[in-house]
Amino acid sequence: MDSLSVKTGKRQELRDVTSEIQQYISAKGFTSGVLTVYCPHTTAGITINEGADPSVARDILVSLERLIPLRGDYRHMEGNSDAHIKTSLVGPSVQVIVEEGRLMLGTWQKIFFAEFDGPRTRKVWLKWVSS
């Protein structure tokens, strides 16, 4: 297993990490298999969605904020319950098929690190299984 470091710059953001992950695959010389991209944090996750129009990432964050506001009927002492709940909705990981050394993503798809309680330096774990 390897890990990537991701520095986020805001409390909440969807950061496109596709090129970093593609660079990792190329540097390792991986050709055919599946890469698991896993976020080992309770207030950040990983998702795949449209990267061509940045408004999509913005709309996802704004909609999550409307559904799960910062302040609400929460009991968690840290005051970041919204971040925990958003993380559960987004999920901790994605699996991506790799063929001929390239991430097999749809035309408009990008891999996003979903930060919900930043800014922080975060980890992403990467596990390769070849086929």
The distance of closest approach from Cβ of residue 38 to Zn ion in the complex, given in angstroms and rounded to an integer, is 19
Looking at beta carbons only, is 22 or 80 nearer to Zn ion? 80
- Tokens 């330096």 — which residue? 121
The CA distances from residue 46 to 29, 57, 72, 73, 76, in Å, are 23, 13, 24, 26, 23
The distance of closest approach from Cβ of residue 17 to Zn ion in the complex, given in angstroms and rounded to an integer, is 23
Instruction: Summarize as ranges the residues that interact with Zn ion (CB under 5 A).
Output: 78, 80
Residue nearest to Zn ion (CB): 78
The DSSP element (H or E) to which 67 belongs, if any, is: helix 54-67
Six token digits for residue 81: 């319950």
The distance of closest approach from Cβ of residue 87 to Zn ion in the complex, given in angstroms and rounded to an integer, is 10
Looking at beta carbons only, is 42 or 93 nearer to Zn ion? 42
Looking at beta carbons only, is 21 or 83 nearer to Zn ion? 83
